């Protein structure tokens, strides 16, 4: 076998976004509300809990009645709905081969349960895809990225109810049919594992309406697994040759010490993270997961055909986000730090971002090798990046800290390719500054392109190229040769 020296020739370099974090125009051209429209911005010094994305029934009632005076930045995004042509032009200037975006489900079916789609919403994405095509940028489309139509929350309490599968399928079939000549790469649910950490974020579920929120979140997950497999089936029927991926927030756990109990704990926590890709890729629930359910007295309502459907329609590729690694300990002691919707013990060997997320480039190589060994399916890094505070100096941002982060991660991805991993592409999260998923801040920036907008939506929205813009352009131009 020939020695592998670098990334394959057709490597999909680019960036990744989500509709609710960029589009804005939340009530324009027939769009309905989505779960993201209820995530409030709370200044750092006023935050009282780890996860401000979860909402209560009281809060929803107050917001809906118009008596609540909060700021909801995802309603405004960065106005991509009106600026997509100039933004995509900038992506093309960087040489993007691929652009990950989601379709905002409630732009197509405003309530989620409507019988017919909203033509204005469909037409918007027609034009986005046309613009991408004019620059030979391949769209990579997520069907559901933390933006469940709010109508489904009101009528069914989101994915708790099995009927949502039918509504999702109507939506999936509509967009597969409409965009069959435009989109080859699809994925169903962004970071499907988040539904069990933040049910409102992952499934439009208001937990205080449930008797047993934990058990119900696993039932809702089952509905999403079935919906995902059915969507894979329909995709193949409607667009032969298209590919479906799953999407996992990969949370790699290292043992805190070499104490065997810590090693075991890390393995167990890792298994519970990989359970989601096990089901998507292998098409069955693993035994360790069935034991977890039994230990927690959770009995899933699984219909006759469900397990067959999971088995028959696994995904084609495994896509995942990677931002950090975590530590597992069998004792609860130790200093903790924040993470992507999950806290961790502090790793003394790693630095952390301004938000406490531990920076671990080598962990990416570890993760890639493990996923490849486990599934032997092509892998796709569809999110990776550094959220940081940027300062504009003389009309630009000198973001060498971002360049360092990305460079170190891409170097490790390249080493994994040299290890023999089959990697389809690398998509940096937030190639243009966007609204933060977890805190709804604008000041947590990931982009190569700066957007002049503050946490309250003030600013000219002008786009500026940061230093990382030309750096990434060069990486793509040389296919990662010069790192
Ligand atoms: C991922 C999400 O978990 O992390 C994105 O898929 C999100 O939507 C990204 O934006 C970064 O998280 P945050 O909270 O910094 O925006």
DSSP per residue, 19-49:
HHHH---TTSTTPPPBGGGG-----GGG--S
The token pair at 308 is: 């067959």
Q: Is residue 4 part of a domain?
A: no
212: containing domain: 12-477
**Distance set, CA 156 to CA 195, 353, 356 (Å):** 16, 38, 36
Give the pLDDT band of residue 2 (cuts 50, 70, 90). confident
DSSP per residue, 265-295:
HHHHHHHHHHHHHHHHHHSS--HHHHHHHHH
DSSP-derived 3-state class of residue 313 = coil
Q: Is residue 78 part of a domain?
A: yes
Q: How far apart are CA 362 and CA 403, in angstroms?
A: 16
Q: Is residue 383 part of a domain?
A: yes
Atom 15 in ligand 1: residue holding the nearest Cα: 436
Q: Is the full-model pTM beyond 0.85?
A: yes
DSSP-derived 3-state class of residue 252 = strand
pLDDT of residue 334: 77
Dmax (CA) for the chain in angstroms is 67
CB 463 within 8 A of CB 450: yes
Q: Which atom of ligand 1 is nearest to the CA of 446?
A: 15
Q: How far apart are CA 185 and CA 317, in angstroms?
A: 10
* Segment 75-91 mean pLDDT: 98
Q: Is residue 483 part of a domain?
A: no
Q: Is residue 6 part of a domain?
A: no
Q: How many independent structural domains does the chain possess?
A: 1
Q: Which atom of ligand 1 is nearest to the CA of 430?
A: 10
Nearest CA to 469 out of 34, 140, 89 is that of 89
CA of 150 to the centre of ligand 1 (A): 20
Is residue 342's pLDDT more than 80? no
46 vs 208, higher pLDDT: 208
pLDDT of residue 46: 87
* Segment 319-339 mean pLDDT: 89
Q: Is residue 22 part of a domain?
A: yes
Atom 12 in ligand 1: residue holding the nearest Cα: 437
Q: How far apart are CA 188 and CA 276, in angstroms?
A: 13
Give the pLDDT band of residue 173 (cuts 50, 70, 90). very high
Q: Is residue 1 part of a domain?
A: no
**Probe residue for ligand 1, chosen from 340, 384, 390, 444 as the CB with the greatest number of ligand atoms within 8 Å:** 340
Is residue 435's pLDDT more than 90? yes
Q: How far apart are CA 441 and CA 338, in angstroms?
A: 16
Residue with token string 């300990």: 329
pLDDT of residue 53: 85
Q: Which atom of ligand 1 is nearest to the CA of 438?
A: 14
Q: Is residue 203 part of a domain?
A: yes
Which of the residues are catalytic? 383
CB 262 within 8 A of CB 328: yes
Q: How far apart are CA 22 and CA 27, in angstroms?
A: 14
pLDDT tens-digit profile of 132-154? 999 999 999 999 999 999 999 99
Ligand 1, residues at Cβ distance < 6 Å? 18, 21, 190-191, 249, 321, 340, 383, 387, 429, 436-438, 444
CATH number for the domain that contains residue 370: 3.20.20.80
pLDDT of residue 229: 98
Give the pLDDT band of residue 283 (cuts 50, 70, 90). very high
Determine the straight-line distance between the first and last CA of the chain, rounded to whole angstroms. 25
DSSP per residue, 222-238:
HHHHHHHHHHHHHHHHH
Among the ranges given (60-74, 81-95, 396-410), the one the predictor scored with the smallest mean pLDDT: 60-74
């Amino acid at each position: 076998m020939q020695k592998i020296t670098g990334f394959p020739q057709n490597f999909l370099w680019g960036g990744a976004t989500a509709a609710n974090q960029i589009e804005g125009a939340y009530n324009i051209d027939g769009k309905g509300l989505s779960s993201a429209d209820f995530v409030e911005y709370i200044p750092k010094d006023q935050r009282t809990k780890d996860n401000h994305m979860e909402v209560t029934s009281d809060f929803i009632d107050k917001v809906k009645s118009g008596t609540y005076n909060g700021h909801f930045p995802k309603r405004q995004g960065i106005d991509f709905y009106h600026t997509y042509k100039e933004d995509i032009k900038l992506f093309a200037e960087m040489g993007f081969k691929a652009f990950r975006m989601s379709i905002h489900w409630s732009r197509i079916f405003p309530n989620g349960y409507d019988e017919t789609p909203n033509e204005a919403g469909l037409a918007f994405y027609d034009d986005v895809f046309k613009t991408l095509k004019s620059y030979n940028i391949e769209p990579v489309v997520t069907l559901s990225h933390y933006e469940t139509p709010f109508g489904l929350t009101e009528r069914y309490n989101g994915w708790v109810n099995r009927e949502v599968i039918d509504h999702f399928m109507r939506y999936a079939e509509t967009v597969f049919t409409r965009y069959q000549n435009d989109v080859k790469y699809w994925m169903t649910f962004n970071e499907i594992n988040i539904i069990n950490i933040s049910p409102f974020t992952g499934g439009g579920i208001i937990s205080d309406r449930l008797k047993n929120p934990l058990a119900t979140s696993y039932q809702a997950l089952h509905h999403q697994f079935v919906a995902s497999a059915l969507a894979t089936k329909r995709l193949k029927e409607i667009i032969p040759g298209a590919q479906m991926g799953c999407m996992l927030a990969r949370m790699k756990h290292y043992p805190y010490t070499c104490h065997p109990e810590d090693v075991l704990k890390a393995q167990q926590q890792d298994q519970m993270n990989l359970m989601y890709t096990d089901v998507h890729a292998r098409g069955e629930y693993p035994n360790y997961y069935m034991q977890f359910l039994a230990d927690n007295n959770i009995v899933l309502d699984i219909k006759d055909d469900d397990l067959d459907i999971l088995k028959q329609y696994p995904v084609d590729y495994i896509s995942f986000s990677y931002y950090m690694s975590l530590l597992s300990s069998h004792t609860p002691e130790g200093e903790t730090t924040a993470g992507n919707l999950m806290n961790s013990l502090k790793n003394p060997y790693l630095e952390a971002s301004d938000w406490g997320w531990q920076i671990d480039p080598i962990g990416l190589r570890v993760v890639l090798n493990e996923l490849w060994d486990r599934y032997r399916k092509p892998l796709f890094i569809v999110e990776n990046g550094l959220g940081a505070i940027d300062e504009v100096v003389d009309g630009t941002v000198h973001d060498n800290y971002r360049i360092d982060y990305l460079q170190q991660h891409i170097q490790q991805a390249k080493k994994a390719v040299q290890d023999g991993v089959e990697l389809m592409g690398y998509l940096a999260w937030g190639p243009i500054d966007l609204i933060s998923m977890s805190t709804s801040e604008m000041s947590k920036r990931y982009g190569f392109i700066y957007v002049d907008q503050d946490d309250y939506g003030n600013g000219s929205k002008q786009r500026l190229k940061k230093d990382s813009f030309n750096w990434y352009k060069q990486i793509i131009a040389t296919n990662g040769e010069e790192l």
